[in-house]
Structure 1
């Protein structure tokens, strides 16, 4: 089944002369980049946008993935915090983010004379509220995984079978997703979220970590199977004292653990 799915994905690139792959640092876009390069060689280029809400860890993963695959990798930089629509953080934040990203990707595609831009959206992504996916598709960006009916599980299995090191990497999203709708996105908040997540990972060993910035209170989520890592009181006290040092006013643990889209509600 995995071989069949991979063949289907590789065949998707038949007849395409050149593609630009939006590479985020996650397993989905990694598999797309792998397949594009396997089929098109130097006519496939990966591009990662360092837009100030991308965790630096994700950027490093994108660089590592590109080296593994052998694909040419370009990093573009711009500042999403200059976009007022994005900063106000309403329920269309992802739409504004992906619309701006699309503009930059289209510019890169023009510079390198590539025919098409592709991303790592899979069929599981289409079930959630995803205005960002809509923005990409409105700008003509194609999703080979979704079009060949790849689920997240299939992506991970196929990535493992072709030897991609990120096959079991926990899913991630931009740092702004840790701030509830209606609370503005600021450089200070993004910095303390990113540092906060590093602290929690270092002190607990948890892989799936979110530090939600709930109006100055850090709400920590780890994977449901990793909740036991937060049971050590000494570790908890260290986490709390270190998060307060980086300007969180208070710290709480979510006893239900992490699940995607948990704060997709507007809070004033």
Structure 2
């Protein structure tokens, strides 16, 4: 099945929209080949503001209506306590909220931007999607992350080269309770690095409460040049700052 065929067979529905590379291309496809689709963006403490701004811009450019749903995921105790199953409970809360709102709008089909490169396995978030019967057209149609970036560039989407960006909760070690204050520190620290021109990086909290920087090797010279600025800013939020030379992202 091609993506065009998917939307011809499913002309209307709801799209769980994040503003990232995958859901942006899915939104473009829905606008191109669908008939009646609405995007739903969940605005929670786990998402930085720039993601919401990107989502708003994309929806406007593609002419697809978008509903913003404020959801305080930290009200879910099983999310806030940050166990290894956090993503499962978070996805459940978010997608149930979208399904509730989409149902009121008359949509019974909900899709998301999971692609063919994503490891299906038994990852908590993927398990939640299966249990809620959320469909993933990009995955069903065999579209990998590289293919989606290429197609997004051809479609003129500004997200085609947007770095992957996992939610802010991934910066906090499993087992340490997530608070809005910890998320605020993370977002403000990363916003500062963005303002200096860094990209595709993470500011993670160590189990001891310090900051651990992860960034591409090609940006290390820039980090050394901006070392004092980075230390000065991050020490407003963290007692120590270290550099991780074994960069791993999710």
- Name the TM-score class by shorter chain: over 0.9
3-state secondary structure, aligned to 1:124: coil
Unmatched 5+ stretches in structure 1:
1-6, 262-268
CA RMSD of aligned residues (A): 1.5
Q: Using a 3 Å threshold, how does the CA distance of structure 1 residues 59 and 129 change in structure 2: closer, same or farther? A: farther
Is the contact made by 1:29 and 1:120 (CA closer than 8 Å) also made in structure 2? yes
The answer for unaligned runs of 5 or more in structure 2 is: none
Select 2:139's aligned residue among 143, 146, 156.
Answer: 146
- Equivalent position SS for 2:117: helix
Is 1:251 equivalent to 2:241 in the alignment? yes
| 4+ aligned runs moved over 3 Å, structure 1 | none
Q: 2: CA distance between counterparts of 1:244 and 1:260?
A: 23
- Displacement of 1:185 after TM fit? 0.6
User: Which secondary structure state, in structure 2, belongs to the residue aligned with residue 220 of structure 1?
Assistant: strand
Determine if contact 1:68/1:164 at 8 Å carries over to the other structure.
Answer: no
Paired position in structure 2 for 1:213: 205
2:118 to 121, 125, 128: 125
CA contact (8 A) 1:16 1:115 kept: no
Q: What does 1:88-167 align with in structure 2 at a 5 Å threshold?
A: 88-126=81-119, 130-167=123-160
Contact 2:71 2:94 in 1 (8 A): no
Say whether the 8 Å CA contact 1:122–1:146 is kept in structure 2: yes
1:237 counterpart = 2:228 = yes
From 3, 9, 22, the equivalent of 2:3 is 9
**Is 2:33 the partner of 1:44?**
no
Quickly say closer, same or farther: Cα 1:151–1:179, change in 2 above 3 A. same
1:213 Cα offset (Å): 1.3
Aligned residue for 1:167, secondary structure, equals: helix
Query: Deviation at 1:128?
Result: 6.5
Matched, 1:178 2:168: no
TM normalised by structure 2 equals 0.95
